[in-house]
Amino acid sequence: MTSSEALALLEATASLGPVTHLPLWEAFEAERVVPAATALLEEAEAEFDRLEADAPATWEALMVPLEKMQLRLGALFGGINHLLSVKYSDALQAAYDEVRPRYVAFSNRMAQSRPLFDALCAIRDSEAFAGLGPARQRVLTESIRGMERSGVHLVGAARERYEEIQQRLSTLSNDFQTNLVKEEKTARVVVTRRSEVDGVPAPVLAAAVRTAVEDGVQEASVENGPWHFVVNGVNYSAVIQFAKDRRLRERFYRAFRERGSGQGFDNRPVLEEMLRLRQEEARLVGFDHFAALSVDAKMAGTVEAVWALLDELEAAARPAAESDRHALEQYLVSHDLGDRLEPWDVTFVSERLREEQYDYDSEALRAYFQMPRVLEGLFSLTERLYGLCIRQVEAGAVPVWDESVTFYEVLRNGEVIAGFFVDPYARPGEKRGGAWMNTVVGRNRTLAAAGQTSSLPVALFVMNGRPPEDGEPALMSLEEVRTLFHEFGHATQHMFTDVEEGGASGLNLIEWDAVELASQFNEYWMEHKPFLKAMTAHVDTGEPLDDETIDRILASRNFMVGTATLRQLHFGKTDMALHQGYGLPGVNDDRTPFQIEQDVAKETVVMPMLEDETQLPAFGHLFAGGYAAGYYSYKWAEVLAADAFAAFREAGLDDESALIDVADRFRRTVLGLGGSLPAKEVYRQFRGRDATADALLADQGLKAAG
């Protein structure tokens, strides 16, 4: 097969009515990646040579062909990256590793092209700029700022070093994630005695038995074992929350905390090198440290503003967290569960205390949260708020990457306006942990088909829930339901955008610390009783959850909120401290990243931790994602989300007319405007003012409502 034939296969797409540009996922076979990517890069490099030579200073002559080139590259390499996340194979990884250096080099070349930069500045400074409109103006000005942050002014040895750093960071980030995926294939907690798994949910035991058989055990059963637990988030959550055997909880806690540190999969030197390189990168482009470089492109604007928010939230949460610890210690001793609270006791005892105080069993609640019913409830809410219709298409109507993946269309007034994929279940060893949303196709005038003004947006969101058992519907925990709502919130911002300029539509150009606004806002609907009840139906009887239990669930929403807040602040502060201080030349601080992390924990965390405990070797957000010096964004956006939902409460959640009015304003601004305006300005258009932390702190019971 020639390279051009391979490229044609990987660029071929499917359509479903007006939804176009759907990838043929099955075409992304490892042996096609190298010839296809090589051919595309050769074409892109030749086109960019022409653009640099001509440097046309008009939107149509420069920005349009540049966007077309970037869309093709994004579709191909985005498809490869997606499949590495959900259908990992060594062969696909090896193919990607072969072409990635050239792709990174070309991306750096575009970001550091002085002819391109000068042409962009010429358009910005021309009379034509005023006629471009807000979206194109912002795409242009942010492109210029992005190039400045990417070292467009660098020359000679500095430029070469910057390119070396980018190549190395790309390799290290890929290594970091690959180590975790590979390690999960073999990492096990093996249990042979029935008494040790007492309390662990039956579906989790069944999965552990299947794993044992896959590992070569000849005879295994749910009743008698042995049980081979994959060391992943699904199993960890179940064991640490429900296993009565303290030794098993300790084994699993330690195994989970050791992810990314095992022989052959050790991410510790990887992340140390990444931190040093990021500091060097920041210095090269004129910033004191990487934290300043990162925050410069975010809504917060300054490192000082980030620390101010983190400190404000910590001051409010600490008394509640200290009270949480005291309550757990009392419960532990009074119920003969131990004489000292250990790290592997915290979640288990918290769950028992919550059961005692609020009288509901979180594992038993799964029977009421059937995934099809939960999806129906989520979609019904979305339809009600935004005047839409969501319908699942029949299997086989569009290409998917796994048989468990489903596809949906979104309609308004009978017309399809968007689509999305759902990949709900864990697949150990081939699908990375966690949950995320990603874009497949954006709303973009450049991709418009005949009769369209723009392409229709398509999203995907991925979870790692327990797979269904024996033909039964998948059952979800409350936290999994919350995660589903969270990721679909991201999807709404991608799908409901009104902006047709691709560079500013959907999530594009939205500052990173505002990106979580729509997702965290969506979670608040789980706390509205009529809606929560309508989502429930017992898997055997079909009966909804009773009012008394729902009341107890809602009453428990702030249970251990101080502890949860400090946990997030620990992550955010560690992130900022590392990217402000570690690896800087001339800084008199010889602490390792892990010592910095532990020092932050001592100042921030109230609950017990292991003396040498670290999250960093498995902290994909920082080292294999986009959250470096930006993990604080979850708390920043949480403030926005709480303040935004307060507008719905003020309108009246049961006042249909008023609710629809404020939802429409939310759709037209927060969801509709994308990155066509700065996030602060978009929020002001919705709320009429800036957000404050008051609504969040009052909602969490950490501050009296004003």
Cα angle: 654, vertex 659, 664; to 5 degrees: 160
Q: Quick one: angle between helices 303-334 and 343-358, nearest 10?
A: 70
Cα torsion through 694, 700, 704, 706, rounded to 10: 40
Q: Quick one: angle between helices 593-604 and 561-581, nearest 10?
A: 150
Q: How far apart (Å, rounded) are the C-alpha atoms in residues 257 and 162? A: 34
DSSP class of residue 391 equals E
Residue type, 455: S
Q: Is 358 helix (H, G, I), strand (E, B) or coil?
A: helix
Centre a 10 Å sphere on the Cβ of residue 192 and count the other Cβ atoms it contains.
11
N-terminal to C-terminal alpha carbon distance within the chain: 69
Pairing mode, strands 389-392 and 406-412: antiparallel
3-class SS string, 26-68: HHCCHHHHHHHHHHHHHHHHHHHHHHHHHCCCCHHHHHHHHHH
Residue type, 201: P
* Residue 454 Cα distances to 6, 18, 420, angstroms: 28, 10, 17
**Which residues, at least 6 apart from 254, have a Cβ–Cβ distance to it below 8 Å?**
344, 610
Residue type, 347: T
Q: In 3D, which of 7, 1, 75 has the Cα closest to residue 38?
A: 7
DSSP class of residue 221 equals B
| Cβ atoms of 172 and 273 closer than 8 Å | yes
Pairing mode, strands 458-465 and 415-425: parallel
| Cβ atoms of 399 and 438 closer than 8 Å | no
Q: Which backbone phi and psi does 251 adopt, to 5 degrees?
A: -60, -45
Cα torsion through 43, 49, 50, 55, rounded to 10: 140
Pairing mode, strands 406-412 and 415-425: antiparallel
H runs (alpha helix) in 478-560: 478-495, 517-523, 529-534, 547-555
| Cβ atoms of 628 and 290 closer than 8 Å | yes
3-class SS string, 102-169: HHHHHHHHHHCCHHHHHHHHHHHCCHHHHHCCHHHHHHHHHHHHHHHHCCCCCCHHHHHHHHHHHHHH
Q: Is 100 helix (H, G, I), strand (E, B) or coil?
A: helix
Judge whether 98 counts as a catalytic residue. Answer: no
Q: Which backbone phi and psi does 426 adopt, to 5 degrees?
A: -65, 145
Q: How far apart (Å, rounded) are the C-alpha atoms in residues 170 and 183? A: 20
| Cβ atoms of 62 and 56 closer than 8 Å | yes
Calculate Rg over the CA atoms of the chain: 25
Q: Which strand (E) or helix (H) includes residue 420?
A: strand 415-425
Cα 360 → chain centroid: 30
Q: How far apart (Å, rounded) are the C-alpha atoms in residues 133 and 139? A: 10
H runs (alpha helix) in 582-675: 593-604, 620-623, 633-651, 656-666
**Residue of 11, 480, 487, 511 marked catalytic:** 487
**Which residues, at least 6 apart from 680, have a Cβ–Cβ distance to it below 8 Å?**
299, 690
Question: Which residues are part of the catalytic machinery?
Answer: 487
